[in-house]
Amino acid sequence: MKIPVVKEILNANDQIAIENRASLDDADVLMLNLMASPGAGKTSLILATAERLPAEVCPGVIEGDVASSIDADRMAEHGIPVTQINTGGGCHLDAPMVRAALSHLPLSEMNILFVENVGNLICPAGFDLGAHLAVVVASAPEGHDKPYKYPGMFAAANAVVLNKADLLEVFDFDTDYFRRGVEMVNPSVPFFVVSCRTGAGMEPWLTWLLNRRREHASQ
């Protein structure tokens, strides 16, 4: 009896995800679902990206956490429209949570919406939120074996960002080995190596993001 119940939950989630995407399309907002382990630097990537966006491109953020509003407070301090979702122990966000959060954001005032999902490399990949793009953020301190241990997450990505590039040598991180693991499950996925602290590698990531934004606006 458990399998039909799980299917019903996923089907209901997917239907709301479709509705979320339609609402975002109507508002001409590109939404990205950022997924990563805790501490990989999702918040830092959003902030480093936001400060480099052209003036005409306005970001917003949905922050997903088990508890607290620490990351949301950081976004608000930088003047970025943000709303918080606390899952109360849940390991991922879902489409109904995002639908509720969208009603608290000024969608007409933004072009790009980042969803910072709960720190986890398993559960978030299984739930469509209505995002147009899924971005997996990894980091040097985590080690270069993550694509081999969590292939499902990397297979679902539209882009992979390797953060904290300034620490690659410190942690003896094998970038080639990491990238081969990504390409085993997602051969053509765009791959970016960045340091949010130093700004290294941010330009290719920004170019990709802005191109996706232009493509979305032209549809």
- What pLDDT is attached to residue 11? 84
- What pLDDT is attached to residue 1? 40
157 in Cβ contact with 134 (< 8 Å): yes
Q: What is the mean pLDDT of residues 79-95?
A: 94
Contacts 24+ apart (CB under 8 A), 8-17: 10/126, 10/127, 13/94, 13/95, 13/96, 13/127, 13/128, 14/95, 14/128, 16/95, 16/96, 16/99, 16/130, 17/95, 17/98, 17/128, 17/129, 17/130
- What pLDDT is attached to residue 7? 59
Which tokens hold the place of 197? 């602290």
Percent of the chain predicted with pLDDT > 70:
95
- What pLDDT is attached to residue 167? 98
Q: What is the mean pLDDT of residues 49-65?
A: 97
CA distance 46 to 55: 16
| Bridge partner residues of 63 (DSSP) | 84, 116
Say what the pTM is: 0.94
Buried/exposed code over 165-174 (b: 16+ C-beta within 10 A; e: otherwise): bbebeeeebe
88 in Cβ contact with 34 (< 8 Å): no
The owner of tokens 């978030």 is 124
pLDDT exceeds 60 at position 2? no
pLDDT digits (tens, 9 = 90+) for 90-106: 999 999 999 999 999 99
pLDDT exceeds 90 at position 10? no
Q: What is the mean pLDDT of residues 137-156?
A: 97
Averaged pLDDT score across all residues of the chain: 94
Stronger pLDDT, 6 or 125, i.e. the higher one: 125
pLDDT exceeds 80 at position 172? yes
CA distance 68 to 56: 31
pLDDT exceeds 60 at position 6? no
What domains does the chain contain, in order, with CATH numbers? 2-218 (3.40.50.300)
